[in-house]
A and B are shown apart, each in its own frame.
Chain A
Amino acid sequence: MWYLCMFFHRLLDYRKAEVESLAQLFLDDKDKWSSLEWRIPLHHHPDSPFHYVNLPSEDAARNIANRSILVKGIYEIWGEGGSYEELEESIRSYPDERKLPYLEPGTTFKITVDSFGKVISFQDQNDRIKGFTYIPFKGQVNLKNPDHKFWVMETDDYGSSNGLPPVEGRRIFFGREVGGADRSLLPTYQLKSRNYLGPTAMDAEIAFLMANQALATPGKLVYDPFVGTGSILVAAAHFGAMTMGADIDIRVVRDGRGPDCNVWSNFKQYGLPMPVGLLRADNNLPPWRSGLKEVFDAIICDPPYGVRAGGRKSGGRKLLKGTVDPYTVPDDKRTDHIPSTGAYSLVECVHDLLDLAARMLIMGGRLVFFYPVLREDDNVENHFPEHPCFKLIATSEQILSSRYSRVLLTMVKISPYTEEIAEAARIKHIDFRENHLKWLEDGNLHSAVFSPDPQLTATGDSKLGKEPKPKYRGKYV
């Protein structure tokens, strides 16, 4: 059955991907393997908040909507039209057997008038509600806690500040609410009230979206190899998953900023179960025993891309350059020795991450991580990392500045980790080691993001003919 899904008008690229992922959690086995059908309402732009989605049952629709972060509501639409006359005709022709059960005496209901991109005055809202006398409501009105919530949603202007092109025609929907996101968890988990924060702590809303992409549920084990202050695992733990994390920086994972300001306290603060494991380890040389594989249900992370924080791996700067031999630690200094670390290029980091995930995820397990892209690259789709064990199922871009964005990649493990794949990864690992400087140069995103813009410094007007980049889908949209 087709339902109208109204999204919050933000993070546009994440909206359908979230619903598609949650469908994997709430649809029956027979339905979940084909992707969902979507349809854009008449006159609507693909970035509009209104989308029709075909779902097999109302229970599935409710569960998806209630677990989501970006679904404002999923509605069973009783009618739609370009005017209130057309809407009436449409509602009258909607089958009675679908309507009457929700209009019965003894039930309570509420009608809300909503709009997108404009404000409807209280008086106009009231007039519109009174216009629905042709619907035979037999129940009582209850504004606080009604059994059935009906919505009138009207668009004739997208407004000026939300980045959408002008509306082609007015559209009005009338429907019964089936479910909607519980956004109240966002203020609860917002970073500004979090005890322990790092410079790259993940925003709560995005962390929840990542946990949804990873299908975090009770009984699953979720791993973050760049755990930092645990901001991504907090979201996975909220949805009931067991969590495990590693980081190369021991100050972050072990010490934090004191007894009540560390990774553990971030879980305690929300009454969430603590991670089942936290350790200090190098993603480049993971300490997992040989033979261990397929233990994690999901790996979620925000790898260091070298823009705000750079990755580190074992081995000092000079050692990795090859100008000095490894420092031999004297026996009496072994206990307190602090090993040096060197820069870890993004390409190598992502290679290691994919190799780790290919080995350690269960079949069907998900790898969800952010990948940075420079916006100059016109055809970014071709630049996403690939791996024979994984199928890329969702890419959601978030524009961070005019120079670069980050894209949330969701991959599913579709084939087992074989000897050949392991051997290819081992050879690549040696190549990274032996050609450390070359890889560091190639994978340097920092200079591309922070160097002066060639378009601004160029004296000629050769670049002026270039299309301006879209401004919306920025921080707030």
Chain B
Amino acid sequence: MRLLTHNMLSSNIKGVSNGFPLRIEVGKVVEKQVDFNADFLRNMFPKIEWKAFVDAAKTVGYAELPEEVDSSALESEEFLNKFHHALLELHLEEGALVCPETGRRFPVSKGIPNMLLHEDEV
């Protein structure tokens, strides 16, 4: 699971009002190279919840991202490279996503988060 996906997901258990961001429980993190596409990054940037993204990156061991940023940063190639790396190249291969409200663990195995709810959670 890349941080792009993490930034889009929340716990949707019935009754949970704020299931975002999911806390990352790290088992194993791997790096996988992805072709750089500046247009894609510029399109994605405004959709990203930045604070959650920076925190998630720190959790998986990448602390190079600025805490606060606005769209002017997209002019900088250095920033785009860091953004690209954090968004697409860091994978949570094994671990879990934890609901911030209930503590429910959504396991991540072989890079695939299992977001399916139990019977008593829908």
Question: Which residues does A use to contact B, with CB under 8 Å?
Answer: 218-221, 242, 244, 248, 250, 253-255, 273-274, 276-282, 285-292, 294-295, 297, 314-316, 319, 326-329, 334-335, 337, 339-340
Contacts and interface: CB of A to CB of B under 8 A. Distances in A.
A278 B111 contact: yes
A25 to B, nearest CB: 14
A327 B112 contact: no
A403 to B, nearest CB: 34
B40 A242 contact: yes
Given A218-B37, A254-B112, A294-B47, A279 B5 contact: yes
A285 B112 contact: no
Nearest to A295: B47
B8 A288 contact: yes
Contact of B116 (A218, A280, A289): A280
Contacts of B114: 250, 254, 279-280
Contacts of B58: none
Contacts of A326: 119-120, 122
A254 B116 contact: no
A277 B122 contact: no
Given A248-B116, A326-B119, A219 B20 contact: no
A287 B9 contact: yes
A219 B43 contact: yes
Contacts of A242: 37, 40
A279 B112 contact: yes
A244 B5 contact: yes
Contact of B115 (A244, A281, A319, A337): A281
Contacts of A282: 115-117
B2 to A, nearest CB: 6
Interface of B: 1-2, 4-5, 7-12, 19-21, 32, 34-35, 37, 39-40, 43-44, 47, 49, 88, 104-105, 107, 109-120, 122
Nearest to A315: B122
A242 B44 CA distance: 11
B40 A290 contact: no
B90 to A, nearest CB: 12
A237 B61 CA distance: 29
A287 B107 CA distance: 14
Given A248-B116, A280-B114, A218 B39 contact: yes
B117 A288 contact: no
Contacts of B122: 285, 314-315, 326
B106 to A, nearest CB: 8
B45 to A, nearest CB: 11
A242 B2 CA distance: 13
A280 B112 contact: yes
Nearest to A250: B114
Contact of A288 (B9, B39, B44, B104): B9
A130 B35 CA distance: 52
A276 B118 contact: no
A277 B115 contact: no
Contact of A287 (B11, B35, B105): B11
Nearest to A263: B112
B105 A335 contact: yes
A130 B8 CA distance: 65
B119 A280 contact: no
Contacts of A244: 5
B119 A287 contact: no
Q: Top 9 closest A-B pairs, CB basis? A: A219-B39, A289-B10, A277-B5, A289-B20, A287-B115, A254-B112, A281-B115, A326-B120, A326-B119
14 contacts: A221-B43, A250-B112, A276-B4, A276-B5, A276-B34, A279-B9, A282-B116, A289-B8, A289-B49, A292-B47, A314-B122, A316-B119, A328-B119, A334-B118
A426 to B, nearest CB: 13
B73 to A, nearest CB: 19
Given A280-B116, A295-B47, A274 B32 contact: yes
Given A277-B5, A289-B8, A295-B8, A327 B20 contact: no
Contacts of B39: 218-219
Contact of B37 (A219, A248, A289, A329): A219
A338 B81 CA distance: 40
Given A278-B111, A280-B115, A288-B10, 7 more contacts: A218-B40, A244-B5, A254-B114, A277-B5, A282-B115, A288-B8, A289-B9
A329 B120 contact: yes
A432 to B, nearest CB: 13
A340 B5 CA distance: 25
A329 B39 CA distance: 45
A287 B47 contact: no
Contacts of A278: 111-112
Contacts of B37: 218-219, 242
Nearest to A246: B115
A382 to B, nearest CB: 34
Contact of A273 (B7, B20, B21, B35): B35
